[in-house]
Amino acid sequence: MLRPILLPMIALAAALPAQAQVQPMYRAGLAKPLTATLVVKDLRWSCIGDSCSAIRNGTSPDVNVCSAVARKLGPVTSFSAGPRTFDQAAIDKCNLAAGHG
């Protein structure tokens, strides 16, 4: 019963362009909410409330991006770069490097 539906769906998914694939992202949680779109480390960040995100370009070390975000937007409570999520020790180092500590 599922086969007649499943095969066209598989064909459609295979035909989607490569641009439709999910881009690796930076994600940052902020201690103080902010709603803005701004540039940090040549990346366009979109922030709504305490969550910010930007498309990850891989040109800067992730820890440098984290500290630049913390420097410009205030202390971060969480940070991820693609599949890598910073642990609390990395978040603390990021905030310290940005002058929050």
The pLDDT tens digits of the residues spanning 1-39 come to 555 565 555 554 555 454 455 678 999 999 999 999 999
SS percent in the chain: helix, strand, coil, step 5: 40, 30, 35
Asked, for residue 72, whether it belongs to a domain, the answer is yes
- When divided into structural domains, the chain yields a total of 1
Asked if residue 8 belongs to a domain, the reply is no
In a domain, 27, yes or no: yes
Percent of the chain with pLDDT over 90: 71
| SS3 state at 44 | strand
Supply the range of the domain harboring residue 59.
Answer: 22-97
Q: pTM for the full model?
A: 0.77
What was the pLDDT predicted at 71? 97
Q: How far apart are CA 68 and CA 79, in angstroms?
A: 12
